[in-house]
């Protein structure tokens, strides 16, 4: 994947399948980077002076150049916009694999605290080392000289770390997503239906959706808590992001990863039921209310190209994969997470192009 480009606040907002499929703990707002004289990259050339015959030639459908198989990196960012110069962290890391026919695939998560070897990155003055995966984003975002952190630069280092760990050769596209827009996107599609699989008590929200009061001096929150009871539940925007964020519950971060994948499946199901992926115009309409600057890179193809090319990827054809892991404790202290052999075996198979076959042979990995 080409280097993820910086996105300006005047960038043109477009719809993307990443917005519907690749929702982690944030919003998939895909933007095109301005290119010539303010026109969005990938926009058609000015044909006002072209011959009539050329103008009459039908243009190819969106996504005509998108060919499978695909691997797409999806990152949920904790940007803490309220904290000056906060270095963005990768709060959720997912890989979406789409098979050759672009009609089926699988989605798996990597723990945010996964211990990985992060390569040296001169742009950030980083010499490399063994870190938690979430830290690759923050270390890579540093700009020598005291300038504000650069999320696009951080994403570049995170991508390198994920490729090194998983053994994948490259990513065809990638999106860095923020928390805030998930609420807007969920509301834009009219809410979603989620099967809550265990009781989840929110650390952050009250039952009315308002934020709980931060305890003086830190150390938690005060006040009544929103509770998500097991069963089929309809969620509006703030509930979707709140449910997807909770990790102080039974199963910890592995439960949170599962819930994030459930939110993705629910958004995809709602979009499919409403016919959104099949219509570039409706995709654009759904995201028209979103104004966050988020990062998207798809090589020669735009976000709309990916959206339309993956319009036949249904929820039923998307396998949600859980990779088992465990905490690393050294000298009595928590150091991070590591995948168990079943998880690393899957990554090895996926890197060799045999991920789907591996899942068929190991059905225990196939669940949300």
The whole-angstrom separation of Cα 213 and Cα 124 is 36
Percent over 90 (pLDDT), the chain: 40
Q: How confident is the model at residue 299 (pLDDT cuts 50, 70, 90)?
A: low
Residue 284 has pLDDT above 80, yes or no: no
Q: In 3-state terms, what secondary structure has residue 176?
A: strand
Torsion of CA 269, 273, 274, 278, to 10 degrees: 80
Q: In 3-state terms, what secondary structure has residue 36?
A: helix
Among all chains, which residue has been given the structure tokens 């459930």? 262
State the maximum Cα–Cα separation within the chain, in Å, rounded to a whole number. Answer: 75
Q: In 3-state terms, what secondary structure has residue 289?
A: coil
Asked if 259 and 192 count as a contact pair (C-beta separation under 8 A), the reply is: no
pLDDT at 18: 44
Q: Are strands 70-78 and 173-178 parallel, antiparallel or unpaired?
A: parallel
Percent over 70 (pLDDT), the chain: 70
Worst-scoring range by mean pLDDT, 57-71, 169-183, 209-223?
A: 57-71
pLDDT at 183: 75
Is pTM, for the whole model, over 0.85? no
The whole-angstrom separation of Cα 312 and Cα 262 is 19
Q: What pLDDT, in 10s, does the model give residues 61-117? A: 666 778 889 999 988 776 554 444 556 777 888 899 999 999 999 999 899 999 999
Burial class (CB in 10 A: 0-12, 13-18, 19+), 36: exposed
pLDDT at 271: 76
Q: How confident is the model at residue 164 (pLDDT cuts 50, 70, 90)?
A: very high
pLDDT at 45: 29
Asked if 306 and 300 count as a contact pair (C-beta separation under 8 A), the reply is: no
Q: How confident is the model at residue 20 (pLDDT cuts 50, 70, 90)?
A: very low
């Amino acid at each position: 994947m080409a280097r993820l480009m910086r996105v300006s606040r005047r960038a043109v907002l477009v719809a993307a399948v990443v917005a519907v499929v690749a929702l982690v703990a944030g919003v998939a707002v895909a933007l095109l980077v301005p290119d010539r004289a303010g026109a969005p990259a990938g926009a058609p050339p000015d044909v006002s002076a072209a011959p009539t015959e050329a103008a009459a030639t039908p243009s190819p459908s969106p996504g005509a150049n998108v060919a499978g198989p695909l691997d797409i990196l999806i990152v949920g960012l904790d940007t803490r916009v309220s904290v000056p110069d906060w270095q963005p962290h990768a709060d959720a890391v997912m890989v979406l694999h789409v098979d050759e026919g672009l009609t089926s695939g699988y989605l798996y998560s990597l723990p945010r605290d996964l211990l990985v070897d992060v390569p040296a990155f001169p742009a950030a003055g980083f010499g490399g080392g063994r870190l938690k995966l979430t830290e690759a984003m923050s270390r890579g975002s540093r700009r020598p000289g005291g300038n504000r952190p650069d999320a696009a630069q951080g994403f570049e280092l995170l991508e390198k770390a994920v490729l090194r760990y998983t053994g994948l050769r490259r990513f065809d596209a990638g999106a860095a997503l923020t928390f805030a827009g998930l609420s807007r996107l969920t509301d834009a599609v009219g809410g979603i239906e989620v099967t809550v699989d265990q009781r989840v008590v929110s650390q952050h929200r009250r039952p009315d959706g308002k934020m709980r009061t931060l305890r003086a001096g830190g150390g938690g929150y005060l006040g009544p808590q929103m509770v998500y009871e097991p069963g089929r539940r309809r969620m509006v925007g703030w509930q979707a992001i709140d449910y997807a964020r909770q990790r102080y519950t039974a199963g910890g971060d592995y439960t949170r990863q599962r819930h994030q994948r459930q939110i993705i499946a629910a958004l995809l199901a709602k979009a499919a039921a409403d016919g959104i992926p099949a219509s570039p115009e409706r995709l654009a309409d759904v995201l028209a209310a979103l104004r966050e600057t988020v990062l998207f890179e798809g090589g020669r193809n735009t976000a709309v190209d990916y959206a339309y090319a993956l319009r036949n990827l249904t929820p039923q054809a998307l396998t949600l994969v859980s990779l088992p892991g465990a905490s690393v404790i050294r000298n009595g202290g928590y150091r991070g997470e590591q995948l168990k052999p079943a998880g690393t075996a899957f990554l090895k198979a996926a890197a060799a192009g045999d991920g789907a076959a591996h899942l068929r042979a190991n059905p225990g990995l196939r669940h949300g």
